[in-house]
């Protein structure tokens, strides 16, 4: 795993100075890269505190007292409370369904032998390769048959099946739990579901955290799904609401307030990332090691 | 049992796909697509976007990962700084970039002016694709970098040390030892990035707004055709296009896996 012991090299040899210079250059270089890449992000925060939209176009930027009123204006204009409420409905429903389903399916794939299990698993994994545009049209038609266009159902129901990526991650994890634990529990009179709930889940907390974070982020920031299925403005999610805020008629977009909206939109994700970095990194890394 | 539910769900959606198009038109939709100049332009754009994004994005990610694999003070802070780009939701990040790219004198043009570069009109017909590329490469670096970093940390120390004793320079060591050791990760990232790039839609639509024959991608075209004013009349046409896209992606992945068998090294033997 990623080890972050910052061990500065000890000046011991005659080559120590050379090494030190190299290290300093590396550090400076890395910081430069980091800051350059974070620049749009920093600009978003700085811009959100400017008193006027036009201040974002004055260079060099004038240092001014932070203007927190922008946030209130953005909240007011976008009706942020409703947007957050709508988005949270989707987030909570998706997380609950998706994680329950993914855990159950992963448990099945990890612990129960049945005919065609590996074929089923391969099929499931291959759905990860399926482009969303291919399923979009038939899914839309299906939902329109059930008169579900314009409701949250098309954005919630697909979670019942779980997500291939989550199932994969969870299965790998359960497979790593020794069988002895299962057997001990079974002898103590535990049934299969009991084993999952009482034995496996407590062992899976790190991976569950990863799944929670990823399904939260996926739904919270989703734009394509809501933009296809949601029409009524009072059902808008954050993505749609913010986009609407930008494209509504202005002679010039209120950039400072837009940036404030962006900061608020991104804030939960940044907090989650900083608070649960380990779980976050694990999710990304397991997707890369196959 | 639940997984079967999952499959049935998928299958249902496919059945509806054929049932809902009651008029059988044969290959008409497909032949129509292949004569549609906008569709052909969108294929070109998509390939260009996907290839440039993958190559440049992965190149930068690998470079940063190699840097962060060294030990220095503040290594972790830089990692967070690099990753910040990938955390913000797409709508928010495109909005920030829309501001950076705006035709007025913006931060980006100001920084360019330090180096004596005259202001660029980022959103013009000619430049829009480049702007979208800059934005999506920026957004893709974080995760790729983390995956590369994990792979680099998985390279066994004893091999690198042995090569050092044999007098192997650091650049040669990277090419001869590190690169082959992380080749399976590289392949994975190449494929996922290419596939992701081929499906690009939201970032284009959000940043550029109107698709011209320089920016329209295949996925975007599919969405446009599926939900245009005629609505359902062109749904079939849209699905034909979607299937062409899918076929291309499948072919790509197949070719990649076939070619990679020759180049990729699996430390634990072939899986």
pLDDT of residue A279: 74
Q: Per residue in A41-93, pLDDT tens?
A: 888 888 788 777 666 676 666 667 777 777 887 787 777 888 888 888 888 89
Q: Per residue in A212-265, pLDDT tens?
A: 888 888 888 888 888 888 888 778 888 888 887 777 756 667 777 888 888 888
B3 contacts on A by Cβ (under 8 Å): 105, 108-109, 120, 124
pLDDT of residue B179: 82
The residue ranges of chain B whose pLDDT is under 50 are 1-23, 230-231, 267-271
Rg (CA), chain B: 22
Distance between CA atoms of A26 and A73, rounded to whole angstroms?
A: 43
Helices (H), A79-178: 80-111, 117-126, 132-145, 153-156, 164-175
A290 interface with B at CB cutoff 8 Å: yes
Q: Are A223 and B245 a contacting pair at CB < 8 A? A: no
Q: From residue A156, how far is each of A217, A228, B15, B169, B226 by CA, in Å? A: 15, 14, 21, 55, 21
pLDDT of residue B178: 81
Is residue A255 within 8 A of residue B104, CB to CB? The reply is: no
Closest residue of A to B8, CA-based? A161
A285 contacts on B by Cβ (under 8 Å): 146-147, 150
Min distance A259 CA to chain B CA atoms (Å): 7
B88 contacts on A by Cβ (under 8 Å): 41, 44, 221, 262, 265-266, 269-270
Q: Are B81 and A38 a contacting pair at CB < 8 A? A: yes
- What the block records as the tokens of A65 is 């007292």
Choose the mutation target among A115, A137, A257, A276 for the interface with B, i.e. most B CBs under 10 Å: A137
pLDDT of residue B18: 42
A6 interface with B at CB cutoff 8 Å: yes
Q: Per residue in B163-185, pLDDT tens?
A: 777 777 777 878 877 888 888 78
Q: Are B87 and A136 a contacting pair at CB < 8 A? A: no
> What are the backbone angles phi and psi of residue B123, rounded to the nearest 5°?
-95, 10
Q: Per residue in A211-225, pLDDT tens?
A: 888 888 888 888 888
Is residue B106 within 8 A of residue A62, CB to CB? The reply is: no
Closest CA to B157 of B69, B232, B263, B226: B69
Q: Are A281 and B146 a contacting pair at CB < 8 A? A: yes
pLDDT at A7 over 50: no
- With 0.80 as the threshold, say if the pTM is over it: no
Closest residue of A to B201, CA-based? A224
A274 contacts on B by Cβ (under 8 Å): 80
Closest CA to A215 of A175, A173, A169: A169
In this prediction, the answer to ipTM > 0.90 reads no
Min distance A236 CA to chain B CA atoms (Å): 14
Counting beta carbons within 10 angstroms of the beta carbon of residue A38, is it exposed (0 to 12), middle (13 to 18) or buried (19 or more)? middle
Distance between CA atoms of A289 and B184, rounded to whole angstroms?
A: 8
Q: Are A161 and B17 a contacting pair at CB < 8 A? A: no
User: For A138, how many CA atoms within 13 A lie in the half-sphere containing its CB?
Assistant: 19
Is residue B43 within 8 A of residue B190, CB to CB? The reply is: no
Min distance B187 CA to chain A CA atoms (Å): 10
B7 contacts on A by Cβ (under 8 Å): 120, 123
In A198-257, the residues whose Cβ lies within 8 Å of chain B are 217, 220-221, 223-224, 228, 238-239, 242-243, 246, 255
Residue bearing the bigger pLDDT, A53 or A110: A110
Closest CA to A218 of A289, A162, A277: A162
Angle at the Cα of A58 (from A56 to A63), degrees rounded to 5? Answer: 80
Q: How many helices (H) and strands (E) does chain B have?
A: 14, 0
In A119-178, the residues whose Cβ lies within 8 Å of chain B are 120, 123-124, 127, 129-142, 145, 158, 160-162
Q: pLDDT confidence of A5, banded at 50, 70, 90?
A: very low
pLDDT at A132 over 60: yes
Distance between CA atoms of A107 and A103, rounded to whole angstroms?
A: 6
pLDDT of residue B6: 39
Min distance B13 CA to chain A CA atoms (Å): 5
In A57-96, the residues whose Cβ lies within 8 Å of chain B are 57, 59-60
Choose the mutation target among A28, A30, A270 for the interface with B, i.e. most B CBs under 10 Å: A30
- DSSP summary character for residue A160: G
Q: Give the long-range contacts of residues B178-181, CB within 8 A, separation 24 or more.
A: B178/B152, B180/B265, B181/B151, B181/B154, B181/B155, B181/B156, B181/B265, B181/B267
B146 contacts on A by Cβ (under 8 Å): 281, 284-285, 288
Distance between CA atoms of A22 and A27, rounded to whole angstroms?
A: 9
pLDDT of residue B59: 92
pLDDT of residue B270: 40
């Amino acid at each position: 795993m990623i080890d972050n012991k910052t061990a500065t090299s000890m000046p011991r040899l005659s080559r120590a100075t050379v090494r030190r210079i190299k290290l300093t250059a590396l550090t400076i270089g890395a910081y430069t890269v980091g800051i350059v890449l974070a620049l749009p992000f920093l600009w978003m925060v700085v811009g959100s505190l400017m008193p006027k939209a036009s201040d974002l176009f004055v260079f060099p930027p004038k240092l001014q007292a932070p203007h927190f009123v922008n946030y209130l204006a953005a909240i007011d204009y976008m009706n942020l409370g409703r947007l957050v409420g709508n988005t949270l409905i989707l987030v909570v429903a998706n997380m609950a369904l998706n994680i329950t389903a993914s855990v159950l399916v992963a448990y099945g794939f990890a612990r129960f032998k049945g005919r065609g299990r590996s074929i089923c698993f391969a099929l499931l994994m291959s759905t990860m390769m399926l482009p969303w545009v291919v399923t979009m049209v038939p899914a839309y038609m299906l939902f329109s048959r059930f008169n579900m266009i314009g409701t949250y159902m098309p954005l919630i129901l697909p979670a019942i099946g779980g997500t291939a990526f989550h199932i994969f991650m969870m299965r790998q994890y359960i497979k790593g739990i020794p069988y002895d634990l299962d057997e001990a529990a079974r002898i103590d009179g535990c049934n299969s579901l009991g084993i999952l709930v009482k034995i496996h889940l407590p062992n899976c907390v790190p991976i569950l955290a990863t799944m929670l974070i990823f399904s939260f982020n996926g739904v919270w920031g989703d734009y394509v799904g809501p933009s296809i299925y949601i029409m009524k403005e009072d059902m808008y999610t954050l993505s749609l609401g913010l986009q609407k805020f930008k494209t509504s008629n202005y002679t010039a977009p209120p950039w400072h307030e837009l940036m404030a909206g962006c900061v608020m939109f991104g804030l939960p994700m940044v907090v989650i990332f900083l608070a649960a970095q380990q779980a976050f990194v694990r999710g990304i890394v397991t997707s890369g090691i196959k | 049992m639940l997984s079967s539910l999952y499959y049935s769900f998928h299958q249902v959606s496919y059945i509806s796909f054929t049932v809902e198009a009651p008029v059988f038109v044969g290959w008409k939709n497909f032949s129509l697509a292949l004569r549609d100049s906008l569709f052909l332009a969108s294929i070109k754009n998509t390939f260009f976007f996907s290839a440039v994004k993958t190559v440049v994005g992965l190149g930068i990610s690998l470079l940063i990962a190699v840097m962060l694999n060294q030990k220095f003070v503040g290594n972790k802070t830089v990692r967070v700084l690099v990753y910040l780009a990938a955390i913000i939701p797409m709508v928010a990040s495109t909005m920030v970039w829309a501001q950076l790219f705006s035709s007025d004198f913006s931060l980006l043009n100001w920084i360019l002016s330090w180096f004596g570069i005259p202001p660029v009109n980022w959103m013009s017909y000619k430049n829009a694709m480049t702007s979208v590329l800059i934005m999506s490469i920026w957004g893709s670096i974080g995760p790729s970098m983390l995956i590369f970093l994990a792979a680099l940390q998985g390279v066994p120390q004893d091999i690198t040390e042995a090569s050092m004793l044999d007098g192997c320079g650091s650049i040669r060591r990277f090419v001869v030892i590190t690169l082959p050791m992380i080749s399976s990760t590289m392949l994975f990232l190449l494929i996922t990035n290419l596939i992701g790039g081929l499906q690009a839609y939201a970032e284009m639509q959000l940043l550029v707004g109107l698709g011209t024959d320089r920016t329209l991608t295949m996925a975007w075209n599919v969405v446009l055709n599926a939900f245009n004013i005629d609505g359902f009349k062109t749904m079939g046409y849209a699905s034909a296009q979607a299937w062409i896209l899918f076929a291309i992606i499948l072919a790509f992945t197949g070719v990649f896996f076939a070619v990679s068998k020759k180049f990729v090294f699996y430390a634990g033997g072939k899986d």
